[in-house]
Structure 1
Amino acid sequence: MSLPRSAALALWLNACLRGSVGPDDFAEAVRGSDPQHLVVDWPHPGDATTLVELPAAVLRASGTRAALALPVAGDLLGLRGPSAFNALALEAGEAVALAGTGRGLVPTLDARTVLWQSAAAEPAPPPDPSEEGRQLRQALVTTTAELTRLDVASWQPEIPDLLMNVRHRPPLTLPPGVPPRAAEDLDRAVLCLQIAELALDDDGGAASAYEIAERRRCLTDLDRAARRAIVAVCSDSLTAS
């Protein structure tokens, strides 16, 4: 279980900017099992910056906060433009806007290297972590009840297995200072994203168009609540307190 790359970058970069972790810890956490990450066209076109160098580069550019975006078609969550950045982020499904710098980063895979493409961007105001955590918990309860009603277990047994194990999974690796409630919400949100992705990929044994529509509706609601919870925690400098 892991955060989306942009979520990890936003969360750990915010921790680094407030002094909770050093650049080496930031780089190691964001890189994870990937061989290499490079930030391209930062701070100038044609430049390349390593993850270790990124926090200092952001500070030199008057950066104050990393704001996560996890957009999907019809829900440009975390995006505030311009349109070119929105298009890049929507294609990738994720991005980070760097408040105060006028720039943002979008990850792409190039062979064995994750390239963070720099482009002009503005951060959107982050959702409230407490409220989005509450909404996610409610969405999970509602989705579980709805999938039980639709008897999903009989044609996609891995879904209820994941739902039953929501409290029994290895925790995410998070930077110091993340409040326990926020950490729980992130764990829950990543699991919910996994559930939604798995279930939406296949209509399974749904017997009717009504069942398919109802199933997709509740899973889409769960996916949106999970993305909002992740954006709220990873974009907020809440963890400084």
Structure 2
Amino acid sequence: MSPSPASPAATLPHAARLAWWLTAWLRGHEQTDHVLDVLADDTHLLAGGSALDLLARSRATGATHAGVALPVDGDLLGLGGPRDFNAAALEAGQAVVVGDLGLVPEEQGETVQWRVFAAARRQLPDVGEADRSLRQTLLSTAGDLADLDVARWRPEAADALMNLHHRPELDAPLGTPPRCLELAARGLQAWAIVDLALADDGGALSSYEIERRRGLLQPLGRAARGAVVAACSAEVWPEH
């Protein structure tokens, strides 16, 4: 069974968390023992190996950072190929890219096994672009949902929109820019709003209204995923 990329609980996907900690370790901000302890909490293992093997395989790429991909059908966000890696990442809803290596998670019992693929270069929005997109899309979506009377058909989503200052607290490794930590939290928050609003058809009165609601929420979902991808992909982090 593949892990769910995210949920209304607003927790980082496995791939985003691994990308953060791999980057911190590759850059020397975090010691090996501490990173292994963190990975042990989520029982991350290289398929057919151990968590230490996962670190060693990442180091062998020569990369100094890792990043995340969060693709969905029609939007391969964070992926650059090749096809077999894209397909596996799309099925899982998430992946890690470190150098020319692609890592795709798969839950096996209580462990998260990471399958290894070749990965090609990818293009990502930078942190500033992802931040602006999330802010603008959240504002426009909030107004559209108010017009659709979101409080009537999904009060939990309306409450979340009214409490945007109450963001999830994330445990980031040393060396993670504060701006990226904050952006990841806001991205997860927006993602949770989308999940809540689409949990069922709520008070929709017609198929047209259902499709209109989904159409309004799709841009927010993309902006939310884009924010998490940029925040957890060190190749687009600001230098200062």
Q: Which residue of 2 aligns with 1:76?
A: 76
> What percent of counterpart residues are identical?
47
Q: Aligned ranges for residues 90-109 of structure 1 at < 5 Å? A: 90-99=90-99, 102-109=100-107
CA contact (8 A) 1:10 1:66 kept: yes
C-alpha distance in structure 2 between counterparts of 1:137 and 1:27, whole Å:
35
Q: Which amino acid aligns with 2:223?
A: A
User: Match for 1:38 among 45, 49, 58?
Assistant: 45
CA contact (8 A) 2:154 2:196 kept: no
Q: Which residue of 2 aligns with 1:220?
A: 218
1:65 match: secondary structure:
coil
Q: Which residue of 2 aligns with 1:151?
A: 149
1:183 aligns with 2:184: no
TM-score scaled to structure 1, two decimals?
0.88
1:48 match: secondary structure:
coil
Closer, same or farther: CA 126–30 of 1 in aligned 2, 3 Å: farther
Aligned-residue offset at 1:214: 2.1
Q: Aligned ranges for residues 1-241 of structure 1 at < 5 Å? A: 1-32=10-41, 34=42, 36-40=43-47, 47-50=48-51, 52-99=52-99, 102-237=100-235, 238=237, 241=240
2:145 match: secondary structure:
helix
C-alpha distance in structure 2 between counterparts of 1:65 and 1:187, whole Å:
20
Aligned-residue offset at 1:37: 1.8
Aligned-residue offset at 1:126: 2.7
CA contact (8 A) 1:5 1:30 kept: no
Number of residue pairs aligned between Structure 1 and Structure 2: 230
CA contact (8 A) 2:167 2:186 kept: no
2:19 match: secondary structure:
helix
Aligned-residue offset at 1:201: 2.9
C-alpha distance in structure 2 between counterparts of 1:149 and 1:123, whole Å:
41
Worse-superposed segment, 145-154 or 191-200: 191-200
Unpaired runs of 5+ in structure 2? 1-9
Aligned-residue offset at 1:30: 4.4
Closer, same or farther: CA 188–54 of 1 in aligned 2, 3 Å: same
C-alpha distance in structure 2 between counterparts of 1:31 and 1:215, whole Å:
40
Q: Which amino acid aligns with 1:24?
A: D
Q: Deviations over 1:17-42 (max 9, x none)?
A: 1111122333344454x3x22112xx
Aligned-residue offset at 1:133: 0.7
CA contact (8 A) 1:69 1:77 kept: yes
C-alpha distance in structure 1 between counterparts of 2:134 and 2:239, whole Å:
23
Closer, same or farther: CA 11–172 of 1 in aligned 2, 3 Å: same
Closer, same or farther: CA 214–29 of 1 in aligned 2, 3 Å: farther
Closer, same or farther: CA 79–172 of 1 in aligned 2, 3 Å: same
Query: How large is the RMSD of aligned CA atoms in angstroms?
Result: 1.9
CA contact (8 A) 1:8 1:30 kept: no
Q: Which amino acid aligns with 1:20?
A: H
Closer, same or farther: CA 159–20 of 1 in aligned 2, 3 Å: same
Unpaired runs of 5+ in structure 1? 41-46
Aligned-residue offset at 1:187: 0.7
C-alpha distance in structure 1 between counterparts of 2:218 and 2:162, whole Å:
19
C-alpha distance in structure 2 between counterparts of 1:240 and 1:144, whole Å:
32
CA contact (8 A) 2:138 2:190 kept: yes
